[in-house]
Structure 1
């Protein structure tokens, strides 16, 4: 009789691989629980956030009316062990008039944001100087580098380009347009690989995760949901159970 040892060993190894939950919710709430917090921007109406059941998911709901605010939380993730970020998201519709190539179009129906800390010696003098100036203007929360995974309205998935305001934030189009709007979509991204593609082979330390629906630059509307955010070792651990 053929023994099932290889399969059992494979399953044991898969179960032993770590999972770091960073956005898994169990009950509805008028505002997301700590350590989640809203980061607002002066002069801009904040995006509204709550936790609600939504088509089978207990999810963050984000509503933006010509406004912007991040829903953020600190994270402590070892990108050598768990480099893959998993999440599920949905939108009602892309933001009309958005265009990530222009400051006036820097809006997204949904975005997932990962910020990094880097050792000062890994950055050149020019980059350190620009970051110091940005922090004097915008505060100490300005990261050394950041990735923005976005649901865009016109650029194809796979597009990667610097943010219209700063090259220290790289925009990566994961979904685009309306074909998948109105349903949950599962994603998996290797954050370590994406960070190296964007900024070079540096010792990235992931320190903050945020989600947002963003419509301030176009004066539009955005309605999005986010669920099951976690870091895992391999993309297969994320699951791909998109709803019809």
Structure 2
């Protein structure tokens, strides 16, 4: 029930930070996890900073578990709408129906969350996922949260294993497309590697995460 992640984030206090042309969020290459907090759902995915090919990255290992890291930070999408990150996975979760509750597991995913305040039903989230069985660019509602949390396959089964991919998404444009609203701020970013529904094992690496103007 990873929808709990979204509800949990709603209850946290909001940090108001001045927007910058480039806003670092996950500075893993600097061996830092400042501001990132853990949220456990079932079991515990192991997250640790580890050097890979001469660069420090965040390694995630999940064995029938689902826990994530989140960082609450208000991001002004008028100033820095572009979400940037890099990632790689070591293996896939073959054969899952990722549109079902039983198959709602991903080798890697990054969330952006827009809180609904007291009106929790207005909370919105986009899950940028590395899908194992769904083709790149496909979009669908989360099996647990419905159309309050939309899934976007940034990478799919065609992507090579053990290879770094760099991503860039216009979050403001994606929110407009998926929810039909001009959302100008988001409230938190989270990442998760999870296998609690399938009971399997998967490993991934996450590189630095930041927002930029272009």
Q: When the two structures are superposed, what TM-score results if normalisation uses the length of structure 1?
A: 0.74
Tell me which residue corresponds to 2:93. Answer: 95
Q: 1:63 aligns with which of 57, 61, 64?
A: 61
Residue of structure 1 in register with 2:33 after alignment: 33
Structure-2 separation of matches of 1:154 and 1:60: 24
Q: Give the 5 Å matches for 1:93-242.
A: 93-118=91-116, 128=119, 131=120, 144-166=123-145, 167-177=147-157, 179-234=159-214
Q: 2:25 aligns with which of 12, 22, 25?
A: 22
Name the structure where helix makes up a greater proportion of residues: 1
- 1:76 is displaced (CA, Å) by 2.3
The CA deviation string for residues 95-116 of structure 1, in whole angstroms up to 9 with x for no partner, is 1333221000000010011111
> Partner of 2:17 in structure 1?
none
Write 1 or 2 for the structure with the bigger share of strand. Answer: 2
Structure 2 distance, partners of 1:69, 1:49, is 9
The question of whether the paired residues in 2 share the 8 Å contact of 1:99 and 1:107 is answered with: no
Distance (whole Å) between structure 2 residues aligned to residue 75 and residue 169 of structure 1:
19
Three-state SS of the structure 1 residue aligned to 2:79 is coil
How much has 1:149 moved relative to structure 2? 0.4
Q: Please, which moves more after superposition, 96-105 or 59-68? A: 96-105
CA contact (8 A) 2:86 2:208 kept: yes
Q: CA RMSD in A?
A: 1.9
TM-score when normalising by structure 2: 0.84
Larger Rg computed on CA atoms: 1
Structure 1 residues not aligned, in runs of 5+ = 1-16, 121-127, 133-142, 235-244
State the secondary structure of the residue aligned to 2:112: strand
Q: Distance in 2 between matches of 1:25 and 1:102?
A: 32
CA offset digits 1:113-139 (Å, max 9, x no partner): 11112577xxxxxxx4xx36xxxxxxx
Q: How many residues align?
A: 194
